[in-house]
Amino acid sequence: MAPQQSHHQRSRAARHRRTALVAAGMLAAVAAAVVVVEQVMPEGPEQVPLSEAVAAVAAGDVESASMDEAAATVLLTLQDGSSVTAAFPKAYAGTLTEQLVDAGAEVDTDPLRAPGLLSSLLPLLVMVALVGGLVWAMRTGALTGARSMKGRRGKQVDDVPSARFSDVAGCEEAVTEMRELVEFLRDGERFTRVGARPPRGALLVGPPGTGKTLLARAVAGEAGVPFFPLAGSDFVETYAGVGARRVRDLFDRARNSDGGIIFIDEIDAIGRARSEGPGHSGADTERENTLISMLNEMDGFDTDHRIIVLAATNRADVLDPALTRPGRLDRQVQVPAPDRRGRTEILTVHARSRPMADDVDLVSVARRTPGMSGAELAQVVNEACMEAARRGLHLVDSDCLDAAVATVALGRARTAALVTDFDRRVTAWHEAGHTVAALLLDHADDPVQVSIVPRGPAGGVTWMSGNDDMFLTRGRALADLRVSMGGRVAEELLLDGEFTQGAHGDLSAASARALAMVTKYGMSRHGYLLVDDDTVRMGGEVAHEVRAVAEELLRQAHRDATSLLTGNRALLTAVAEQLLEAENLTLAQLRVIQAEVAARDLGRIPVQAGARTREPA
Ligand code: ADP
């Protein structure tokens, strides 16, 4: 690498000399222009702020006006014979003309008939243009030579993203880590002065849609440097040499710019650990070449290039160790799926520029969207806005958000789907079974929303609040099994012991949970000895025993759900009937039904029923 570095240093010195020369030349020109302006410029009309000019118009002080639309200036001749000029925003020209005409001033829009104005402004314009040119040159790096290569090669001007850290929510730790990179990009010397090896790059690790790309863009945005993105999947099945060349081109572009963020999405597509031995396919070799080229490029930029490589992946464990060696992507930053607070923050970020009604409660939306990524939450907010538009509303209300959550989680409602009366009744009872079990069981999550509108493959859905607890207690695991069984049990109650295949999804989830309780969590009479999945799959005595215990858990859950729902048949019936009528019920509405049924049971009039609704009268 030594020759490369000395080349860099040489070119840097040359660049600095060139910069100094050109800058000195420009300054001399500006100084000369100032002298010329001072000597040549005649005593012109006084330049006043637009507000003052408009005030004069309004006060009727203006005799005549000459507008130069192209230069966006106006020369006003006042009643007392003096004249002033004012600049105005181009878009204001029409309004200003109207004001002048209304005020009875003689208006002229021909700049040639405004003697003195243009000629007196000309030297000033020359100077402004010169200074502007200098500023432009400084900003674009034309003087420093940073862009000159690019200009020669006809590359586009690289964009600095507008994203900021304030756009990224729910991953505070990752943002904190990224701030240091921004510090480096802004003021690298502070690091090198004290001998710190500046960061080369970082690996952002997390599931899809958690904001890794957004975070990388925000680093570039905060540091004011361009963003050079690249996706690993672009390289899959490319022609020989194309991947490696693309990598080189990208790094070249970044090097020719005055710093930047190189972002490689899905780096695992390129950076998987190199496989050993023979038996390589052509694609493997190609991928390897791309990876090697990337490693070379990463080693090749020295510290005066303010370039940081950020790469994103869901699987840090499969990456080639060469990529994560010190001096390369040696920092790992976790960008996990957001927890409840994180989800609230993400929703808030996306809702802040949208017109939200007062009844919107983002905390409650966050509570019932466990497992959703930042991207899905962004989609929820957007879908809610779409829903508001469809309903012709000016504000996005909580009904729109409820609908959006369901749409994003389960697919769009199939309003045109043909649903027979029988299917609707079965669905309503099935969902009411889950809902009532969840309402009544101590350790169960609350049902926040239940719907019998068909969506995607589902006939209906009961939406549980979910929670972000890391630990699952045995009580909650058992309650989950009973809630799962509630759907099947309700069908049996509706159909006098008959039932449908509608519980398939519930049974599959409950079976997996029950098996895990037996083989992994030590939560059954099977005891504490764990059993691996292969043993269960292979059959044999242990597998048989394990399955028997899991089945027992499910049977017990079915029995418990049966006694619970039989004992609360009035509530079950009421919820199912309301569902048939309203199609969707929220937790607040469910509580009202629960209170009414409880009051009826006690033979009382439900005087308090309204107190539980969202909008008390
Ligand atoms: P990833 O790169 O992790 O797959 P993205 O950054 O592409 O995810 O996320 C896609 C979009 O989802 C973002 O542009 C943003 O609108 C939204 N989003 C994702 N995560 C977050 C977050 N943590 N905060 C705010 N918005 C987010």
CA-CA distance, 396 to 383, in Å (whole number)?
10
Of the pLDDT bands very low, low, confident and very high (cuts 50, 70, 90), residue 177 is very high
Asked if residue 380 has its Cβ within 6 Å of ligand 1, the reply is no
pLDDT of residue 44: 64
Using the atom order of ligand 1, give the atom closest to the CA of residue 265.
Answer: 2
> How close is the Cα of 333 to the center of ligand 1, in Å?
15
Find out whether 491 and 500 touch, Cβ atoms under 8 Å. yes
In a domain, 309, yes or no: yes
Picking from 68, 84, 108, the residue at the C-terminal end of a domain is 108
Of the pLDDT bands very low, low, confident and very high (cuts 50, 70, 90), residue 439 is very high
Residues 324, 463 share a domain: no
**Interval 299-347: pLDDT, tens:** 876 656 788 999 999 988 888 888 888 878 888 999 999 998 999 999 9
Environment class of 70 (CB within 10 Å of its CB; exposed 0-12, middle 13-18, buried 19+): exposed
In a domain, 148, yes or no: no
CATH number of the domain residue 359 falls in: 1.10.8.60
Residues 199, 311 share a domain: yes
Residues 217, 186 share a domain: yes
pLDDT of residue 158: 66
CA-CA distance, 190 to 425, in Å (whole number)?
70
> How close is the Cα of 446 to the center of ligand 1, in Å?
28
Mean pLDDT for 565-587 is: 94
Among residues 222, 286, 376, 431, the one annotated as catalytic is 431
The domain in which residue 359 lies consists of 340-410
**Interval 241-270: pLDDT, tens:** 777 888 888 888 888 887 889 999 998 888
Residues 560, 470 share a domain: yes
Residues 429, 402 share a domain: no
CA-CA distance, 450 to 414, in Å (whole number)?
16
Q: How many domains does the chain have?
A: 5
CA-CA distance, 102 to 170, in Å (whole number)?
56
Residues 171, 124 share a domain: no
Q: Which residue has the higher pLDDT, 63 or 112?
A: 63
In a domain, 154, yes or no: no
Residues 291, 242 share a domain: yes
CATH number of the domain residue 473 falls in: 1.20.58.760
Asked if residue 210 has its Cβ within 6 Å of ligand 1, the reply is yes
In a domain, 613, yes or no: no
Query: Checking DSSP bridges between strand 260-265 and strand 307-313, what pairing results, if any?
Result: parallel
CATH number of the domain residue 97 falls in: 3.30.720.210
In single-letter form, the type of residue at position 462 comes to: T
Residues 291, 177 share a domain: yes
In a domain, 66, yes or no: yes
Picking from 376, 410, 444, the residue at the C-terminal end of a domain is 410
In a domain, 150, yes or no: no
pLDDT of residue 143: 35
Residues 582, 443 share a domain: yes
In a domain, 211, yes or no: yes
Nearest CA to ligand 1 atom 12: 375
pLDDT of residue 52: 80
pLDDT higher than threshold 80 for residue 36: no
pLDDT higher than threshold 50 for residue 181: yes
Residues 227, 131 share a domain: no
CB count, 10 Å around CB of 95?
Answer: 12
Asked if residue 307 has its Cβ within 6 Å of ligand 1, the reply is no
Mean pLDDT for 355-365 is: 93
Mean pLDDT (the chain, rounded)? 80
Give φ, ψ of 464 to 5 degrees: -90, 155
3-state secondary structure of 228: strand
Residues 210, 104 share a domain: no
Spell out where 506-606 has E strands.
584-586
Best of 214, 313, 335 to mutate for ligand 1, by most ligand atoms within 8 A of CB? 214
Residues 322, 349 share a domain: no
Mean pLDDT for 492-497 is: 96
Active site residue 52: no
pLDDT higher than threshold 50 for residue 613: no
Q: Which residue has the higher pLDDT, 79 or 567?
A: 567
In a domain, 499, yes or no: yes
Using the atom order of ligand 1, give the atom closest to the CA of residue 375.
Answer: 12
